[in-house]
Amino acid sequence: MNFRVINDHTLGISLDETTNEKDVVEIWRVFNGDKVPSFTVAEIAHLSLAPSFSPVLMRMESPHSRFVIRHFFNIQFFNRHHSEAEMLRYLKRLESRDLSLTASMIPLGSCTMKLNATAEMLPISWPEFSRIHPFAPLEQARGYQTLFYQLETWLAEITGFAGISFQPNAGSQGEYTGLLVIRAYHERRGESHRNVCLIPASAHGTNPASAAMAGLKVVAVTCDHDGNIDMTDLRAKAETHKNDLACLMVTYPSTHGVFEQGIKEICEIVHANGGQVYMDGGEHERAKSACAGRRTLARMSAI
């Protein structure tokens, strides 16, 4: 049984809809010299639901243990929804009342989530995967460590990258992490002044936002009417900033849905001018098949 130690006088205990009466009694026994307390879960539940409920102090057999029950969550909303699904629907209704750019002008979804079929996501709900607590000690999560290591090894073998870093299921997280790694790479080489990030004009908003958060200066590269990167403009800007070029962020395929025909030349131009290439891997499956058995074009990618 794990408790979160907050300080010398406070512990954190996580309970959810899967917690049953037996679990609660086991927790009480921990604080009561391994003895069942004189009161029951049903008695406390009955007291807390009574209209005339008032703060009650219940002492267990141990002179140093006590439970204090007080009023909490008295607003009607907190007593209206009794399942996670009902709560989720309520929150979704509140969200739908807000008008945002993503629901009107710029209906962009998550590149990562769109590529995962429901059948692929179902195993995440299995208790063998989902029952672990985020703060569980590492020795209780050996199976997860094995899964991570195997996946790292497989992805590195497929892509040709030296290492793999796992991030939350959001492209923006991968972008930010990748750019920080590129900055660290330049710093270790004594080139911390490299702070220019080239980004095609067709890129979606998270690219320049992530670059700005990583402390990089964004320089836009023009695209033609088909959405392809303008090679002449890319070459000119890469050469102009060759002394402080950090990287290029390129989406493959681009936001226009175009697989850049000149992706190899694009990478070579940036590398020749001292920069690194970050490839957004929204469709990395196609890039993986193209790179299998060869040297990977990009040196940083979100898969």
Q: What is the pLDDT of residues 97-135, one digit of tens each?
A: 887 766 665 544 445 445 667 787 788 888 888 888 888
Q: For residue 14, what pLDDT band results from cuts at 50, 70 and 90?
A: confident
Least confident of 52-66, 128-142, 188-202, 216-230: 52-66
Orientation angle between helical segments 21-30 and 41-49, nearest 10 degrees: 110
Q: Measure the CA–CA gap between 11 and 135, rounded to whole angstroms.
A: 13
Residue 148: its H or E element: helix 142-159
Q: Measure the CA–CA gap between 264 and 239, rounded to whole angstroms.
A: 17
Q: Measure the CA–CA gap between 196 and 212, rounded to whole angstroms.
A: 10
Q: What share of the chain is helix, strand, coil (3-state, %, to 5)?
A: 45, 15, 45
Q: CA 298 from chain center: how many Å?
A: 23
Q: For residue 185, what pLDDT band results from cuts at 50, 70 and 90?
A: very high
141 token code pair = 């999560």
Asked if 106 and 81 touch (Cβ cutoff 8 Å), the reply is no
Q: Measure the CA–CA gap between 75 and 196, rounded to whole angstroms.
A: 52
* pLDDT digits 0-9 by tens, 197-250: 999 988 877 889 999 999 999 999 998 887 789 999 999 999 999 999 999 998
pLDDT at 116: 65
Smallest CA-to-CA distance from 124 within 173, 170, 169, 175 is with: 169
Q: Measure the CA–CA gap between 74 and 51, rounded to whole angstroms.
A: 11
Q: Both ends of the chain: CA-CA distance in Å?
A: 36
Single-letter code of the amino acid located at 270: V
Burial class, 119, CB count within 10 angstroms (exposed 0-12 / middle 13-18 / buried 19+): exposed
Q: Measure the CA–CA gap between 188 and 148, rounded to whole angstroms.
A: 27
Q: Measure the CA–CA gap between 136 and 134, rounded to whole angstroms.
A: 6
189 token code pair = 């080489």
Q: Measure the CA–CA gap between 18 and 14, rounded to whole angstroms.
A: 11
* pLDDT digits 0-9 by tens, 253-303: 777 666 778 888 999 999 999 999 998 765 555 555 454 444 445 666 666
**Does the structure show a pLDDT above 90 at 175?**
no
C-beta neighbour count of 123 within 10 angstroms: 10
Residue 106 CB-half CA count within 13 A: 10
Mean pLDDT of the chain: 80
The residue count of the chain comes to 303
